[in-house]
């Protein structure tokens, strides 16, 4: 490898371009004969090179990045020729026999940074900027990226997390707002039904602060915030849509897939998800970078903890909260992180339409409104409103939030947001096919396994079927008798309902008080 790269670096002769009728699908492949003038006898194939034509009259050069395969002498290519696979040749767009040069990729100083991180050394912002750019541009094979990511999960200092956040943000065009305060809220997730954003954003908008909220769709849960908001309105917004919605309604609740698209995440997630690589510190850098891209100045972070939550203990949540606040401060964001109890779902509904039903109950002051959903929403809304100098404290913020909620102003604000984003003509309702799951034995409910409940809801069809999910009838701390209803499964089709019922029969997710202690 090193011999080959050194040969490329030193080469001054040109290679003649030849098309090779091989379909390499999405991979750009360059073919060099083993007797090439570059001397590739030691090359084993995992590296990449830049293949470039000659500069035109304006000084521009056509180039692509390609993986090199070595072929036997005399088979396809002469010693002074380079071949490109069908897709690579078309992408480069130069005629056959054009003069081509190869450039070593990645540059040595980038590779030095990667090796330093793999060895556990701390990198600075300039090194991360160089390294991530080369990774995004495809200069490294997956094996080396995987090694880098494993090393990064093991050793990232607070300063490195801040550097990564700034560098990652630099890969996107940030939104700019002519506002002294632009607020946002983020949750580490993992708690089914905790759809407080659809309550918090209207409260904040009714008060008058700008809240351009971008949210994700579900990956492993029964609904993400974007999935729930999509029950009411269009969420696939452009930047112009977001600006217009915030101008008209003071807030939006949009899907982040288009707005916060990250080329870094595209590359990293393709590797980390199959390998199960997970790092809270890497996540903090990603989250903070997205808030910078959104143009936020103040961010509230919800850190739920519990035996089956992403964060297992209050101490772990508080430690991560300190990191959020430290990193936020280092990049110019005011961040307040709050550890919250995640012993069970929040609200009754699990699944997009059922969660929206709960949200509307809270906003409309209905007697069926889940008290825990209302209280958590008021707590976070109050914290956010306290950033307004006219409010100043969380206590006054909560009182103001309750006033806006109880007066109906927040409900009107949600209507304004929905109208600005694009109201759905037909609002999905909870699915009509149902099955009631009942307690098998008496006792006090000590825990509700959110992952289990979400799994049953997904089996019923959520989040793709907006009406599918679970309607919880009992909460943690309730006493139940054998045969008493615990929850109702909603599905739109018989097979999905049967599958969800079968899954619930194996484990309904409800753990009685004595049993919870045995599971620790």
Catalytic sites, residue numbers: 278
Matching residue, tokens 């809304």 = 381
- Give the pair of three-digit tokens for residue 42: 């030691």
Query: In 308-338, which positions are buried (b, 16+ CB within 10 angstroms) versus exposed (e)?
Result: bbbbeeeebbeebbebbbbbbebbebebbbb
**What's the rounded Cα separation, in Å, for the pair 342 and 338?**
12
- Give the pair of three-digit tokens for residue 396: 């006054």
Give every CB contact of residue 165 below 8 A, 6+ residues apart in sequence: 284, 285, 286, 288, 289, 292, 327, 331
**What's the rounded Cα separation, in Å, for the pair 154 and 133?**
22
CA proximity to 455, closest of 495, 493, 507: 507
Matching residue, tokens 């519990």 = 306
Query: Cα dist. 367→232, 307, 344, 348, 429 in Å?
Result: 22, 31, 22, 13, 19
**What's the rounded Cα separation, in Å, for the pair 463 and 448?**
20
Q: What is the CA radius of gyration of the chain?
A: 27
Give every CB contact of residue 498 below 8 A, 6+ residues apart in sequence: none
**What's the rounded Cα separation, in Å, for the pair 320 and 190?**
15
CA proximity to 231, closest of 353, 360, 350: 353
**What's the rounded Cα separation, in Å, for the pair 444 and 475?**
10
Matching residue, tokens 């396809």 = 76
> Do β-strands 63-71 and 48-52 pair in parallel, antiparallel, or remain unpaired?
antiparallel
- Give the pair of three-digit tokens for residue 432: 């009509």
Q: What element of type H or E holds 31?
A: strand 29-33
- Per DSSP, helices labelled H in 432-472 are 450-459
């Amino acid at each position: 490898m090193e011999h080959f790269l050194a040969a490329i670096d030193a080469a001054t002769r040109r290679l003649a371009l030849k098309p090779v009728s091989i379909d390499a699908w999405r991979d750009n492949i360059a073919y060099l004969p083993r007797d090439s003038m570059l001397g590739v006898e030691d090359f084993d194939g995992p590296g990449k090179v830049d293949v470039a034509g000659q500069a035109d009259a304006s000084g521009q050069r056509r180039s692509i990045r390609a993986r090199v395969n070595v072929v036997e002498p005399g088979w396809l290519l002469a010693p002074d020729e380079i071949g490109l696979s069908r897709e690579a040749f078309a992408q480069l767009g130069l005629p056959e026999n054009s003069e081509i040069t190869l450039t070593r990729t990645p540059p040595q100083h980038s590779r030095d940074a990667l090796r330093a991180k793999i060895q556990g050394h701390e990198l600075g912002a300039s090194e991360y900027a160089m390294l991530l750019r080369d990774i995004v541009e495809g200069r490294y094979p997956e094996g080396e990226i995987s090694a880098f990511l494993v090393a990064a999960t093991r050793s990232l200092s607070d300063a490195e997390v801040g550097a990564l956040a700034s560098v990652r943000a630099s890969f996107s065009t940030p939104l700019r707002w002519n506002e002294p305060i632009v607020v946002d809220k983020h949750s580490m997730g993992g708690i089914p039904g905790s759809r407080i954003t659809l309550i918090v954003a209207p409260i904040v908008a009714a008060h008058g602060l700008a809240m351009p909220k971008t949210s994700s769709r579900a990956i492993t849960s029964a609904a993400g915030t974007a999935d729930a908001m999509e029950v009411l309105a269009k969420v696939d917004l452009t930047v112009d849509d977001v600006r217009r919605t915030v101008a008209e309604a003071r807030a939006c609740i949009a899907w982040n897939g288009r707005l916060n698209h990250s080329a870094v995440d595209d590359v990293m997630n393709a590797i980390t998800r199959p390998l199960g690589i997970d790092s809270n510190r890497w996540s903090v850098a990603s989250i903070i970078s997205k808030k910078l891209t959104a143009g936020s100045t103040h961010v509230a972070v919800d850190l739920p903890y519990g035996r089956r939550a992403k964060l297992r203990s209050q101490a772990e949540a508080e430690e991560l909260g300190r990191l959020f606040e430290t990193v936020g401060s280092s990049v110019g964001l005011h961040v307040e992180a709050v550890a919250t109890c995640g012993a069970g779902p929040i609200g009754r509904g699990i699944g997009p339409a059922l969660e929206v039903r709960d949200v509307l109950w809270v906003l409309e002051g209905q007697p069926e409104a889940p008290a825990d959903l209302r209280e958590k929403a008021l707590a976070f809304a109050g914290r956010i409103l306290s950033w307004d100098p006219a409010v100043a404290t969380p206590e006054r913020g909560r009182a103001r939030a309750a006033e806006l909620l109880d007066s109906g102003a927040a409900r009107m604000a949600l209507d304004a947001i929905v109208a600005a984003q694009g109201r759905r003509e037909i609002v999905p309702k909870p699915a009509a096919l149902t099955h009631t799951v009942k307690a098998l034995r008496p006792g006090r409910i000590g825990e509700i396994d959110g992952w289990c409940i979400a799994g049953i809801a997904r089996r019923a069809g959520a989040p793709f079927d907006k009406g599918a999910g679970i309607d919880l009838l009992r909460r943690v701390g309730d006493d139940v008798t054998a045969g008493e209803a615990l929850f109702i499964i909603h599905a739109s089709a018989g097979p999905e309902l049967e599958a969800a019922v079968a899954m619930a029969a194996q484990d309904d997710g409800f753990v009685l008080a004595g049993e919870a202690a045995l599971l620790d």
